[in-house]
Amino acid sequence: MNKIIQPRLRWACRRGMLELDLLLGNFLEEAYPALSEEEQGVFIRLLDENDPDLFSWLTGKRVHENPEVNNMIEKIRYHAEHRH
């Protein structure tokens, strides 16, 4: 499990929308290190998606067609709803 958060990941979590910055950045800092390597890979792939799609998935307006990616989206949403 990769416990070190690389600067490029922090940069990839910075988006054009403040809401996405907060959702992704908080998840990266607080939950990403505890993910399995496979889950970390899914999160990294998710960061390649465009902002409108990410926002739709993370707000529950749409569901991602890939169950693995959709599971990661649910983890991010759960984290946002239950942090602190």
Q: Which of 77, 75, 10 is nearest to 39 (CA)?
A: 75
User: pTM value?
Assistant: 0.90
Reported as a single tens digit per residue, the pLDDT across 33-75 is 999 999 999 999 999 999 999 999 999 999 999 999 999 999 9
Contacts 24+ apart (CB under 8 A), 68-71: 68/42, 69/42, 69/45, 71/42
Domains present along the chain, CATH in parentheses: 7-82 (1.10.150.250)
What whole-number distance in Å separates Cα of residue 25 and Cα of residue 11? Answer: 9
Are 72 and 46 in contact by the 8 Å Cβ rule? The answer is yes
